[in-house]
Chains A and B, each alone.
Chain A
Amino acid sequence: MKFHSFRGGVHPPHAKNTENCATIPLGVPSKVVIPMVQHIGAPCRPLVKKGDTVKVGQVIGDTDAYVSAPVHSSVSGTVTAVEDRIITGSRPVTCVEIVPDGLQEVSGDVAPPVVETREDFLKAVRASGLTGLGGAGFPAHVKLNPPKEANVDTLIINAAECEPYITSDCRECIENTDYIIKGIRHVLKWTGIPRAFIGIEDNKPEAIKILEDAVKPYSDITVCVVKTIYPQGAEKMLIRTLTGREVAPGKLPADAGCIVMNVGSVSFLGRYMENGMPLIKKRITVDGESVKTPTNVEVLIGTPIQEVFDFCGGFSEEPAKLIMGGPMMGVALYSLDIPVLKHTNALLAFSKEQVKLTEETSCIRCGRCVEVCPMGLLPFELDRLIRAKSYEDAQKNNLMDCMECGSCVFACPAKRLIVQSIRLGKDALRRASAK
């Protein structure tokens, strides 16, 4: 199979230090904090109150809104708080705090879904609480139900894992190969999509070998080994690489005939269709200079990150920065009390040495940001316009196309905070249009 390529991209150090670290289950933490928003879309309404006892897999938050996903308890125990807290964003979200009883009693609602039609399947996917596990957290049942006029002919399984450090998807491919295949079969069957491509970067030879062996019986699943370049795993880039199609600005992958699912998402679906256990745990990579024993751990959703780091031997030196996700697009955390979320795929603790602040200097117009921008933008120009508060001019220069991959900032010799000012610009435009 011949692949296409996308313009731009950068080559950060891979730092896949944990690629050979088999996943270790962390077990039941001392408490879990489960936010009612762990997805793109409407927040869930908490269905439990303080003092309630809950069981594993019990729905504790839901809503009637279509673009949303229910939230389940990851433990059995007692609800100790239902209150607003600040998690990763700047606005508080309602969270349910549960103190586990350690018994991990499974809720009676947990049963393998009975699926006979496409509608049953989508209903089951919604009930599973699945959101895009790659990082964005888009509800899976919405993704799997594209508008009829969109002629979707390709399911793309994203195992590219282009962010440095993260190896959780790589481990998923190695440890849960069968469930990945089962999940793909379910999706192909119920959506009627004729073929699936598994996109994986060529720096994961072990995972590639295992996947290639696993797909041999299926002529409609192809393992596509793609070049290792950041942001290969960005949805639009992977579609372009595997099909040569470009998702037009403001459009969805379905408009380019594709549905893209993270490899962890299909693997989860494969297992869920068998045992009906909703999304309550997550494999995450724990790494960074400050972590004593970097590894992959399987964590119940809602586990405070403090307990995850403790499980990995604690800190070898005081961390200067904690990141949820990868170093290119992850979110810096302000506290060790923040819980692991559905789409958390890595926790990084960077040492002081790793987060050395560099001073911004003048743009020298070297053109590196333009060269590396996968969206074909002029990052230096957007930066200049936004700093001059010319937001509308920035919009005319396709500001909204920016997916904030950070390639420009990575490449900039003047260490300019380009993406950061792009975020400000987008925010200013959103505020202006909200008025």
Chain B
Amino acid sequence: MDKKLLVSSSPHIRSEITTQKLMLDVIIALIPAAIGGIWFFGIRAAILIITSVVSCVLFEYLARKLMKRSSTISDLSAVVTGLLLAMNLPPTLPVWMAIVGSFFAIVIVKQLFGGLGHNFVNPALAARAMLLASYGSKMTSWIEPVNKIAVGVASSATPPADIDSYATPLAAIKGGGKLPELMDMFLGNIGGSLGETSAMLLIIGGIYLILRGVISWHIPVIYCGTVFVLTWVMGPEGLFTGNPVFHLLAGGLMLGAIYMATDYTTSPMTKKGMVIYAVGCGILTVLFRLYTNMPEGVSYAILLMNVAVPLIDRYSKPKRFGGGKNV
């Protein structure tokens, strides 16, 4: 026998899907909202996005190198983290703060826990929470979009006069300010984090992810559905007086529900678990929004539910074929 034959254990064929392709799909899905962010907030948004993507990849490379582990930058997960982090930052944030955030996300939250698949909370969200705790005022100063989308056509808006006085819709509803039109919130003609303002662009990417089979509909739909129902029931004037559409479109809900809560590593393994997790995210988000002095609750809600995932996984195991108990 002179021919060389490969002898390996079955199965002998694999699907085409790879981690890299999945991450690439997430990047593709985020492109509309990222371009939207640059359109709304100008060149500084582009600089923030590039800075955090590049620094995330660089920190990933350096951390793996220092820990004498194989390089993992080709799996593109660091690009996704960088992109998601940038989307979660105010457009006016100093660039160096984004680098600090990238360091925290990649080195502390991800690599120190073992790298991709081992982090127990979403790295981008954890970095956002860390930045918020460290640089509170910079992380909560918002600007009005420099460009807006008129229905059908894009148009230029008058530049904002005073940066610090601008309030996001959620801050406005808490502070009793003037609320924006729902259509403006849907399109993204409002202030907020770089990539969270346009529900429309985020939903386009979300539909792409669902159609490509990268994520299932369960987490985004059930998360948003829970927020919708609860904000409607728990209205300011008593039961069923809320403005659920406002809450769906406001703040980081769409970004969180579609892109952050669905992170594989920090969400449950089974559909049953995903339902529990998404309902939990929804309840916590509404509680934070309505009953705390924080304007926004999406990131903390997801981070808290991330921590609950091992517990959820434990109680949402699939049914064993042929009956019997799963221990």
- Asked if A318 lies at the interface with its beta carbon under 8 angstroms from chain B, I say yes
- Asked if A160 lies at the interface with its beta carbon under 8 angstroms from chain B, I say no
Name the segment of A126-134, A275-283, A393-401 touching the other chain. A393-401
Q: Residue B22 contacts which of A325, A354, A365, A366 (CB distance < 8 angstroms)?
A: A366
Name the segment of A22-30, A183-191, A334-342 touching the other chain. A334-342
B85-122 vs A: 1/0 string, CB under 8 Å?
Answer: 00000000000000000000000000000111110000
User: What are the residues of chain B within 8 A of A249 when measuring CB–CB?
Assistant: 320-324
**B210 to A: closest C-beta gap in Å:** 15
- Asked if B270 lies at the interface with its beta carbon under 8 angstroms from chain A, I say yes
Name the segment of A107-115, A205-213, A264-272, A409-417 touching the other chain. A409-417
- Interface size on A, as a range, is 35 or more
**A337 to B: closest C-beta gap in Å:** 7
Q: CA of A334 to CA of B21 in the docked complex: distance in angstroms?
A: 33
- Asked if B9 lies at the interface with its beta carbon under 8 angstroms from chain A, I say yes
User: What are the residues of chain A within 8 A of B317 when measuring CB–CB?
Assistant: 376, 378
> Are B269 and A409 in contact, with the CB atoms below 8 A?
no
Q: Residue B7 contacts which of A334, A365, A377 (CB distance < 8 angstroms)?
A: A334
- Asked if B51 lies at the interface with its beta carbon under 8 angstroms from chain A, I say no
- Asked if B184 lies at the interface with its beta carbon under 8 angstroms from chain A, I say no
The prevalent SS among residues of B at the interface is loop
> Are A401 and B19 in contact, with the CB atoms below 8 A?
no
**B11 to A: closest C-beta gap in Å:** 3
A6-18 vs B: 1/0 string, CB under 8 Å?
Answer: 1100101100000
**B118 to A: closest C-beta gap in Å:** 7
Assess A376 versus B19: contact at CB under 8 Å? Given A164-B13, A370-B269, A419-B11.
no
Assess A361 versus B268: contact at CB under 8 Å? Given A401-B320, A410-B13.
no
Q: Residue A398 contacts which of B77, B115, B320 (CB distance < 8 angstroms)?
A: B320
Assess A361 versus B19: contact at CB under 8 Å? Given A378-B269, A397-B327.
yes
Chain A residues in contact with chain B, CB under 8 A? 6-7, 10, 12-13, 164, 236, 240, 246-249, 251, 318-323, 325, 327-337, 348, 350, 354-355, 357-358, 361-368, 370-371, 373-378, 380, 396-398, 401, 404, 406, 409-415, 417, 419-420, 423
26 sample A-B contacts, Cβ–Cβ < 8 Å, listed by A number? A6-B321, A10-B15, A236-B321, A246-B322, A248-B323, A251-B322, A321-B7, A327-B12, A334-B5, A354-B13, A361-B72, A361-B75, A362-B72, A362-B114, A362-B115, A364-B77, A364-B116, A365-B117, A371-B271, A376-B317, A378-B317, A380-B269, A404-B10, A410-B14, A411-B15, A413-B18
